Amino acid sequence: MKKKSFASVLACAFAVGVAAVAVPQVAVAADVNPTLTIEGPNQSMVLSMRQVAGIFLAKYPNSAVHSITLKPDRGRFAYEVTGYTLKNTYKISVDVITSKILKEEIDGKEKDIPSKVFNPLNVIEPKKAEAVAVANIGGDAISKGWELEAEEGKVKYEVTIYHTDEKMGLVEQDVLIDATTGDVITKTLPEKVEIPDENDDGFVLWGD
């Protein structure tokens, strides 16, 4: 039997999931089992956005993805994925290196699901969204994380950017990007970043 690529398996799983949450009578269990393999010294060991989406779809058959977030939590990084089935809302936290599920939350049924889910194969990669956001802000801008979310039938990235302002010092701005086209939609006004005391390890700059 010819081995399917991860992309084709994920596409199939998502198609089944959307059909399941939108049309109950055609629900079929999704069969996704993504694995992370290191093929060479230049390949990243960090789970990609699409791989973590595959982990979610494999864990919850007949589900679809609503949002994926990657932001630091006290210097540690984990993906947060939220999605729906017909009966429940699921949220998991996944280690970016080991792919281990660190936390799971289950909530009640969500309304208007078809307008709140997306296919991870049909959006730009996070690194492209981050590059667009950094270029839009300019200067010494760096990305501090992102959220990819579907709402009202539209899929958007919200990329958090840190940079230096002449008057305010270190500031934070969020850049909203169309996840399909990569176009900038809007951005928030700069807000000063409050740095904790030296004894507080809760603030860690990306890359430090």
Q: Where are the domains of the chain?
A: 6-120, 123-192
Q: What is the pLDDT of residues 136-147, one digit of tens each?
A: 999 999 999 999
* Poorest-pLDDT segment among 10-19, 53-62, 89-98, 129-138: 10-19
Position 9, amino acid: V
Q: Do domains 6-120 and 123-192 have the same CATH topology?
A: yes
Contact 190, 168 (CB under 8 A): yes
Fold classified for 6-120: Nuclear Transport Factor 2; Chain: A, (3.10.450)
* 3-class DSSP assignment, residue 156: strand
In the chain, the largest separation of any two C-alpha atoms, in whole Å, equals 63
Residue 64: other Cβ atoms inside 10 A: 29
- Which CATH number is 123-192 given? 3.10.450.40
For residue 121, which of 5, 14, 4, 3 has the smallest C-alpha distance?
Answer: 14
In the chain, the DSSP E strands lie at 64-73, 76-84, 89-95, 101-107, 142-151, 154-165, 169-178, 184-187, 191-192
pTM, rounded to two decimals: 0.77
3-state helix, strand, coil split of the chain in percent (to 5) is 25, 35, 40
Q: What is the pLDDT of residues 27-75, one digit of tens each?
A: 223 333 343 333 334 445 689 999 999 999 999 999 999 999 998 765 6
For residue 149, which of 91, 57, 83, 68 has the smallest C-alpha distance?
Answer: 68
